Structure 1
Amino acid sequence: MSIQSIAPVSGIIDAAHMASMPLGTTAAAETTSSLERYLAEIPDPVLRENLAREIGGLKREFGLVFERHHPEGIRLPKHAVKRGSKVVISGAKDSVFYRVHRLNKEAGTAIIVDTEGNQSEHPVASLTVAKEFGDVMYPGLRKLSEIRRGDPDAPVHTIINGENYHALEALQYTHAGKVDLIYIDPPYNTGNSDWKYNDRYVDAKDGYRHSKWLSFMEKRLQIAKSLLKPTGVLIMAIDDNEQSRLKMLCDQVIGEQNFIANVVWQGGTNNTARFVDVGHDYMLVYARDMQSLSDAGTRWREVKPGADEILAAAKRAWNDSGQSESEATIALRAWWKSRGKDGLDPGLWEYKHIDNQGRVFRPGDLSAPDKPETRSHRPIVNPETGELSGVPSRGWALSDSSMDSLLAQGRIYFGSRTVPARKVFLEETTQQVARGVFTAKRTSAAQHLTRVLGSKNFPFPKDVDVLARWINIATSSSSKAIVLDFFGGTGTTAEAVIRLNAEDSGTRQAILVTNNELSRADDAKLRKAAHTPGDDEYEALGVFHHVTKPRLETVVTGIREDGSTYSEGLDANIAFFELTYLDEPDIVRGAAFNDLAGLFWLKAGGVGGTVELTAGAKADGFAISESGRTAVLFTPGRAQALAEKLAATEHAISHLFIVTDSEAQGDEAATHFPGGITVERIYGSYLEAFQVNRKD
């Protein structure tokens, strides 16, 4: 037994202890020295030797230390129990996985075997098929529905209902190194049973609470890292319960050299707190590779809060005044008086002037600094009055030629001032670097979701405006970014991406993974009524079916589930999928193709429709997606026929998948198609392409 398994460990090596050691020593060296002294005091030579051997074999870890031996798995209640299936016993207090050794169909029982070979007999109805993380599996994507209101060439926002670890593994086939931004809001592990591990709520009494959470997060972050582009970014929302541990974990998994910021989100106040009003959360921000991000010249900028509002007010004042400089300025100041400064960046508070070209500005000081290299005391001429201006006591900050240039450009403000000022135009100073601390009330997120759905279906959604802001900042270099959220919850990230595209005509694509987990109250109520996971009544109240799907359908179509109107809708394409677990025999005989079609489609960019294996496609030996973006050649000998059909219908496919076990056949078939098409060979059984958790 290792030392770590004696008690739950989750923490950081004591920095104060290390700091107190003599210069040049290390924690490992001091620990070893202490142990050697203690060993020397043991009189029994056999015991001393055995202990020395065990201590010498221990792995000493520094930094974040936590248990990784907790098994994690997923239950598949809709899968039939078969001979050889891995199962768990429903209602058992432990999370032991068994293998079905034999079925007695007449008695309705099964002989199951544990990892040590012990057998026991149980009713089949008490067993649930399960997959342990690390088992070889074949994930698929089964399309549930879709909405197409956007440009046919625009990517389709993809919403996946399924366990996020296995969804991430499937995305390794479709999106390795392709994702621009990953935003996640994982469970905060508050100790108030806010998340499940192995289908059981984790509370503050669980001594392994933090280790379970870290083990849970580590597996997912390792895959998430592989999905990001070299210039990709990872943003993680978190609170004080796990912030310090998540930071250490990301330093290990992502690399501390790739840390960008620990953003603070002030979301509310709590005047009933005993000690400190803690109304803030955090967003940990990491680059996939800081050097690549820097080499790309990336600089995060955003419009100052309120800048667009001031520009709009100034434009109205200019037009309403008949383009009168004085009247427009009076109207703008009146707007300021009625508007106030709330919600506006302090740097914008002095933009209360409009010049003779309708440009809003604030006066900027033109005085020279205390020790200028050169200073001029030459007065300048007011072009409207012909009078000479006053001169700052320290002289001008600019040379005579520069002052003349500003004057010619109408960038000097005289007004009633003795000494003129420089016009600092708002339209030229609207951008600012992203701030590491911001305020946004969390209550507005729940109110927004209630307006969308017409009911209170979910208590703590993410804030769509906050997410839209940070998605826009982190993907500012590309309006075609791929944004992934694998703790998708109610779908806020997808809605934020859809709204951003509507604002700037972008073609960002959201990929969102959420499970169909129920609230603890609904779970208990349904189980008490004899409903269990997999039942239609049970699944209907899960977050995917009850909130995420209807929410996004309403946002895009403008019509709620009950037929009432929410809005005019948005021009977007969106598709809903369910993560499936395919049986190897079905894959081998080609019966699982339609569940794999979603993966082909995502691999090709998620544009247009998926490829469906119909009776006609089987006869033809090939299939083409509805929009013609993707084609699958099942029979390499039919390559010429497929090429001719594509040419006749003017389909411009971007991806061609050739199903063959022969590399020569695949290469020959590919010669029938023009350049510019991405050709990928898929083994005939699909086992090689779609198998995850391969041990070899």
Structure 2
Amino acid sequence: MSNELQSLLDRVASTDPATAKELRRHVDALQSRRQFGLNFERHTPESVALTGRSILAGDKVRFLPERGETTPESVATWIVTRIRGPKEARVAELIDPRTKMESSRLVSDLVFVADFRDPIYPGLVSTGRIQRGGDNKPFHTVINAENYHALEAMLFTNRGKVDCIYIDPPYNTRANDWKYNNNYVDPGDNYAHSKWLAFMERRLRVARELLNPADAVLLVTIDEKEFLRLGLLLEQTFPEARIQMVSVAINPSGQKRDGAFRRSDEYLFVVSFGRAEPSPLVLGPEWRGGKSTSTGKIRWDGFLRSGTGAQRDESPLKFYPVIVSESGKILRFGDPIPVGARREDYDGLNMGEVAIWPIRRDGSEGRWQTNVTTAKRLLAKGFIRTGRFNGERTAVSYLKMGEQNKLAQGVYGAYTLGADGYVVVESAAAQGNRATPTTQWNLTAHSAADHGSSLLRKMIPGRSFPFPKSLYAVEDALRFFVADKPGALIVDFFAGSGTTAHAVMRLNREDDGRRRSISVTNNEVNDEEVSLLERGLRAGDPEWDSRGICERVTKPRIKAAVTGRTPEGVPIDADYSFGDEFPMSDGFEENVEFFTLTYENASLVELDMAFERISPLLWMRAGAQGRIISERSDTFEVADTYAVLFSVDAANPFLAAVEGDEGLRVAYIVTDDEPQYQAILGQLPSGVEAVRLYESYLRTFEINTGRA
């Protein structure tokens, strides 16, 4: 029974014991009924203190700690009723919404509070850019934000477009693991599991809307503390998905557990949507503990139908000539000849051509496996071929759909079209190494100590991060799902030290891909929080913020990965150890933009007075490539992949400017007039997405409030 319900019953009992007794009986009966599945309290909706956000009348705020105090800001929330005084010493008049008590504080001693049930109108402010990938490569983005709000912002930029989400959420095992409503949750808290589930469910429900329902995967790592509950939560949140759990060895020596076996592995939940499935890959000896799913050799089946339904009269439209050259190469397919017509009378051949008919071994007339239309498609893709040709006859074979799918998945390695126009795959030796592994991963490369913590020390010396993932463990998990998607979008909203973005860059280097990542992390100060408070510092001070996760670890690590240099400018003295091995000092030919999430005033957005903050979201929606249109114009602006029409009076020159622009993906049109918007929409180039500003932006977050 919750504390709130118990308190209510106690109050009733003080005035009406009989009624309280009857209520308690009914409550006990209800609590004895257990639903099938996962039950948990969803608790008070989360809230987050946002340092740096200006305080306005009507805002919810908390008190910052007094300088030198070691407690964080207060838990109580106040409402700002009025702000008075000079700019350098403004005072906020406050009221407690619960007790109606009034108070006042210096605005500089207050911090804005955002509740997750309230609408937000996000913007982004750039805090740096690295460009080593040239103008034609998209940007990875790193966002310093509360991840729930960042996910909501991505509903405007990337809804339904994400190929893979990889997250390593808090495991709920340590007292400084994660915060719920401004307080770290202690593992001994009676509601620790319930709070964790509420925390995760809110984020997973938003993340679900980002994933491409037809072909995407969610990867979640966890340990034994919450894996049972997480499994049930995933089943309840994603009933349409296929869910599997993989055991990954991450600590060969094992981590001590009091009174129990040493812990050496963790779990990876794989949540697959639509047609997503792991691609068979070339695997080294450490992977091959189980049976390979690859036969090692591509199978060409006979194009001549055998078995039942194989006679000409059973499928007349599949009795037609395969026309080949004098060398036996397939040139084209003739039309089916009418029932009763003799093949000997066929006159559709040119000089030097031979017609191959579906004749069975007993000399009877058979039929081919497909109709002419499908046969033409097979020929165009190289999926049909002839065998040895004696001048009159040759066998015809083709790749069935199963083999076509394996080819697309890379089961048979790289392939080309040979001189005769049909598929030629790589060597049988390479084919034989391609497989889908078992659910037990035990690889040296996945050791978190050796290739997580140790690697981080080499890249950003003197800057620690608790339990970073092995770079190669993340890279391998991603590879099974994006190896055949060179343009994939990967999101990590528990980015931590930035391992996922780093892994995506390595995957791009291996196959010259254009995959991009979106990494979200906050700027919490963990281990140093008390010492910084004792020194009179608090959140929002430059020195405090410089010690946060994003500023001290995530950004420097990703910069070091791209540039090949430590934050001090020294070339990284180490090599990548597995897969694509090369010096870390080489860096990557990648582009990265760093942002901080802001909270905008909806009225200013609607009046087109917040474009500078909104502009990075427009750029992200268009693919995060090239320059950002960061300032509004009196007419219009055209960038690499998107354009913005600020004034409908400039519609004609705007349409002339974007006409024939093959790189254009999105056109943003600023107008309150629906007929004008529709008129311009109808004249845009084919394939260009049109977005009306700011109606689409505002509506996204108003709807999201109700959904959340």
TM-score by length of 2: 0.70
Q: CA deviation at 1:257?
A: 5.6
What is the match of residue 103 of structure 2? 121
Q: 1:208 aligns with which of 172, 180, 191?
A: 191
Q: CA deviation at 1:673?
A: 3.1
Structure 2 Cα separation of the partners of residues 576 and 93 of structure 1: 28
Contact 2:255–2:263 under 8 Å retained in 1: no
Residues 111, 189 of structure 1: CA spacing in aligned structure 2 closer, same or farther, 3 A cutoff? same
Structure 1 Cα separation of the partners of residues 654 and 45 of structure 2: 48
After superposition, where does 1:200-349 map in structure 2 within 5 Å? Answer: 200-230=183-213, 231-255=215-239, 258-270=242-254, 274-287=259-272, 289=273, 292-293=274-275, 298-306=277-285, 343=286, 345=288
Q: Does 1:571 align with 2:583?
A: no
What is the match of residue 177 of structure 1? 160
Structure 2 Cα separation of the partners of residues 174 and 344 of structure 1: 38
Q: 2:459 aligns with which of 444, 447, 452?
A: 452
What is the match of residue 547 of structure 1? 553
Contact 1:624–1:631 under 8 Å retained in 2: yes
Contact 1:656–1:678 under 8 Å retained in 2: yes
What is the percent sequence identity of the aligned residues?
Answer: 33
Q: 2:51 aligns with which of 77, 83, 101?
A: 77
Structure 1 Cα separation of the partners of residues 254 and 541 of structure 2: 41
Task: For residues 519-578 of structure 1, give each alpha carbon's deviation from its aligned partner in whole angstroms, at most 9, with x where no partner exists.
Answer: 22x111211111111111111111111111111112112233212123122111111111
Residues 103, 152 of structure 1: CA spacing in aligned structure 2 closer, same or farther, 3 A cutoff? closer
What is the match of residue 418 of structure 1? none
What is the match of residue 103 of structure 1? 83
Structure 1 Cα separation of the partners of residues 697 and 439 of structure 2: 47
Residues 344, 663 of structure 1: CA spacing in aligned structure 2 closer, same or farther, 3 A cutoff? closer
Contact 2:255–2:262 under 8 Å retained in 1: yes
Residues 594, 47 of structure 1: CA spacing in aligned structure 2 closer, same or farther, 3 A cutoff? closer
Contact 2:278–2:480 under 8 Å retained in 1: no
Structure 2 Cα separation of the partners of residues 689 and 225 of structure 1: 16
What is the match of residue 637 of structure 2? 623
Structure 2 Cα separation of the partners of residues 55 and 545 of structure 1: 50
Q: Which runs of 5+ in 2 are unaligned?
A: 8-16, 66-71, 298-426, 573-584
**Aligned-partner SS, 1:236:** strand
Q: How large is the RMSD of aligned CA atoms in angstroms?
A: 3.1
Instruction: Give 2:56's aligned amino acid.
Output: K
Instruction: Give 1:76's aligned amino acid.
Output: L
Structure 1 Cα separation of the partners of residues 84 and 692 of structure 2: 43
**Aligned-partner SS, 2:438:** coil
Q: Does 1:431 align with 2:434?
A: yes
After superposition, where does 1:422-571 map in structure 2 within 5 Å? Answer: 426-439=429-442, 440-444=446-450, 445-520=452-527, 522-566=528-572, 567-571=585-589
Structure 1 Cα separation of the partners of residues 255 and 611 of structure 2: 58
Q: CA deviation at 1:643?
A: 2.8
Instruction: Give 1:64's aligned amino acid.
Output: L
What is the match of residue 167 of structure 1? 150
Structure 2 Cα separation of the partners of residues 271 and 499 of structure 1: 29
**Aligned-partner SS, 1:300:** coil
Structure 1 Cα separation of the partners of residues 681 and 39 of structure 2: 51
Task: For residues 57-103 of structure 1, give each alpha carbon's deviation from its aligned partner in whole angstroms, at most 9, with x where no partner exists.
Answer: 87964422222123311111212322211112334786332211233
Q: CA deviation at 1:587?
A: 1.6
What is the match of residue 326 of structure 1? none
Q: CA deviation at 1:277?
A: 2.0
Instruction: Give 2:271's aligned amino acid.
Output: Y
Instruction: Give 1:564's aligned amino acid.
Output: V
Q: CA deviation at 1:581?
A: 0.5
Structure 2 Cα separation of the partners of residues 216 and 346 of structure 1: 37
Residues 425, 640 of structure 1: CA spacing in aligned structure 2 closer, same or farther, 3 A cutoff? closer
What is the match of residue 675 of structure 1? 686
TM-score by length of 1: 0.71
Contact 1:188–1:194 under 8 Å retained in 2: yes
What is the match of residue 608 of structure 1? 626
Q: 1:599 aligns with which of 606, 617, 622?
A: 617
Structure 1 Cα separation of the partners of residues 263 and 109 of structure 2: 46
Contact 1:4–1:67 under 8 Å retained in 2: no
What is the match of residue 653 of structure 2? 641
**Aligned-partner SS, 1:623:** strand
Count of aligned pairs: 539
Q: CA deviation at 1:206?
A: 2.3
Structure 2 Cα separation of the partners of residues 46 and 564 of structure 1: 75
Q: CA deviation at 1:454?
A: 3.4
Q: CA deviation at 1:684?
A: 6.2
Q: CA deviation at 1:686?
A: 5.0
Instruction: Give 1:252's aligned amino acid.
Output: Q
Residues 675, 647 of structure 1: CA spacing in aligned structure 2 closer, same or farther, 3 A cutoff? closer
What is the match of residue 406 of structure 2? none
**Aligned-partner SS, 1:65:** coil
Structure 2 Cα separation of the partners of residues 186 and 278 of structure 1: 18
**Aligned-partner SS, 2:152:** helix
Contact 1:590–1:685 under 8 Å retained in 2: no
Structure 2 Cα separation of the partners of residues 262 and 575 of structure 1: 33
Residues 197, 148 of structure 1: CA spacing in aligned structure 2 closer, same or farther, 3 A cutoff? same
What is the match of residue 600 of structure 2? 582
